């Protein structure tokens, strides 16, 4: 979330920055709530100061002879003052909740290098890697190939659970598992620490990373006891250090985590209804970083390169796109999307999103660090990126490595994991 004082003291800067995102902030309501909060604070502080002063006077009078009447009168006044304070403190708590709820719904301010644009059509391609394969036959969609080879079963998944689910079978299941292990091994070799976190998290964890309260409709929620199924490993891994003060020597932290992920895909009706692109349950390997503020944009570049290297080793063509202001995620200050080439769709599709949240999530989760050379604490900067979305990587391999005879060549780096060269 944004710094409350910064929003209050710089309404024009914040309003203009959020306008670039297409977000219209109701500053009048915010400033009205904040003015009430500050007035309550001022009145409470004055009454507390008076109570402290009179308490000292009462202590002195108790030592003096003949001052009982005056002492009793002051004690009576203090009881009345205490009741007034209780009422004011309750009103302050109520207005603070309203201010906090308001701030929680404000998205992050875009970094100054993010291009202004209305939506994904105005994103900017940064670079490409690899050439799309040339086929001497009409390439099939991954769902057709998967069903022909018997490695993906959508019909039985629908029977078991419903739409937007898949059963991976035989070599399909082995391919999914091989990709997970390959992605984990590659990033562990770079110094990332592997984490396998809970798949159920509490409301505080969802709020810290920005999923709540804004995106509750896209989350799977368990009512009693209250838990949420994670939409990405970003949520539990970022919350590893919630409410902690780290030392400067601790930073940076690099984590890699494989988890199943769960999303309702609310609002995606009619989009990607077939295949593995948009599922309610899918596997993903996530990269999460905790870094010092001055390092975070260099870390974003290296995070993106780490995700890219996976595609390079799999020899899958891709491009990197810088998101414009209108397409940024709620919590992000800057994001690169990596899009892999899918022959059957004749286009690039997102397979990883690498973002710098600056201190937005750290403020919500109260994740700080202490420098050796300075008093006090600062908020860390958090980053994350998919390394990679496993199901979409399966899609890319099936479609890019398909053969005319209907088989699929296994990428060379995955062969030691699968023990086969060809899926047929």
| Catalytic (active-site) positions | 263, 278, 350, 353, 392
Tokens read off for 247: 């030392």
Q: What are 177's two structure tokens?
A: 């598992």
Tokens, residue 402 = 């398909």
Rounded to whole angstroms, the Cα distance separating 5 from 34 reads 10
Q: Which residues contact 8 (CB under 8 A, 6 or more apart)?
A: 30, 31, 34
Task: Report residue 278 CA to chain centroid gap.
Answer: 18
CA-to-CA distance for 99 and 56, rounded, in angstroms?
Answer: 35
Question: How far apart are alpha carbons 65 and 61 in whole angstroms?
Answer: 8
Collapsing DSSP to helix, strand or coil, 286 comes out as strand
Taking the CA of residue 11 as centre, how many other CA atoms within 13 Å lie in the half-sphere pointing to its CB? 11
CA distances from 228 to 198, 216, 219, 334 (A): 11, 10, 7, 27
| 3-state secondary structure at position 163 | coil
List Cβ<8 Å contacts ≥24 apart for 243-247.
243/365, 243/366, 243/367, 244/367, 244/368, 245/368, 245/369, 245/370, 245/377, 246/290, 246/367, 246/368, 246/369, 246/370, 246/380, 247/369, 247/370, 247/372
Q: Which two three-digit tokens encode residue 105?
A: 């719904």
- 410: tokens are 């296994």
H/E run at residue 351: strand 347-356
Helix (H) or strand (E) holding 156: helix 154-160
What is the distance between the alpha carbons of residues 160 and 164, in angstroms, rounded to a whole number?
Answer: 11
Give one DSSP letter per residue of 352-391, joined into a string. Answer: EEEEE-TTHHHHHHT-EEE-TTSSS-EE-EEEEEEEEEHH
Dihedral Cα 323, 328, 334, 340, nearest 10 deg: -40
């Amino acid at each position: 979330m944004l710094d409350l004082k910064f929003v209050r003291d710089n309404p024009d800067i914040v309003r203009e920055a959020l306008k670039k995102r297409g977000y219209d902030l109701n500053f009048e309501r915010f400033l009205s709530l904040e003015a009430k909060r500050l007035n309550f604070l001022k009145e409470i502080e004055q009454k507390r100061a008076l109570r402290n002063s009179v308490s000292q006077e009462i202590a002195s009078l108790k030592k003096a002879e003949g001052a009982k009447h005056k002492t009793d009168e002051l004690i009576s006044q203090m009881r009345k003052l205490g009741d007034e304070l209780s009422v004011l403190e309750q009103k302050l708590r109520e207005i603070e909740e309203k201010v906090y709820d308001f701030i929680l719904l404000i998205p992050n301010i875009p970094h100054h290098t993010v291009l202004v644009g209305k939506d994904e059509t105005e994103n900017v391609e940064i670079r490409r890697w690899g050439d799309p394969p040339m086929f001497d036959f009409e390439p099939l969609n991954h769902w057709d190939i998967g069903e022909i080879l018997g490695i993906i079963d959508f019909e039985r998944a629908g029977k078991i659970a419903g739409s937007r689910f898949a059963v991976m079978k035989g070599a399909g299941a082995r391919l999914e598992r091989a990709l997970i292990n390959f992605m984990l091994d590659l990033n562990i070799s770079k110094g990332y620490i592997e984490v396998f976190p809970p798949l159920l998290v509490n409301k505080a964890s969802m709020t810290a990373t920005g999923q709540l309260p804004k995106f509750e409709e896209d989350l799977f929620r368990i009512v009693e006891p209250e838990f949420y199924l994670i939409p990405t490993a970003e949520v539990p891994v970022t919350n590893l250090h919630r409410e902690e003060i780290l030392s400067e020597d601790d930073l940076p932290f690099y984590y890699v985590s494989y988890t199943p992920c769960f999303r309702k895909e609310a609002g995606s009706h009619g989009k990607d209804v077939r295949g593995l692109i948009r599922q309610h349950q899918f596997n993903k390997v996530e990269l999460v970083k905790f870094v010092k503020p001055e390092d975070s944009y260099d870390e974003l570049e290296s995070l993106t390169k780490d995700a890219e290297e996976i595609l390079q080793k799999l020899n899958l063509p891709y491009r990197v796109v810088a998101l414009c202001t209108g397409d940024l995620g709620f919590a992000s200050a800057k994001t690169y999307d990596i899009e892999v080439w899918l022959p059957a769709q004749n286009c690039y599709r997102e397979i990883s999103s690498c973002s710098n949240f600056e201190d937005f999530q750290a403020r919500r989760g109260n994740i700080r660090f202490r420098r050796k050379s300075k008093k006090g604490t600062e908020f860390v900067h958090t980053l994350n990126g998919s390394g990679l979305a496993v199901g979409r990587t399966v899609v890319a391999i099936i479609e890019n490595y398909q053969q005319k005879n209907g088989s699929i060549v296994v990428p060379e780096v995955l062969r030691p994991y699968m023990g086969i060269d060809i899926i047929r």
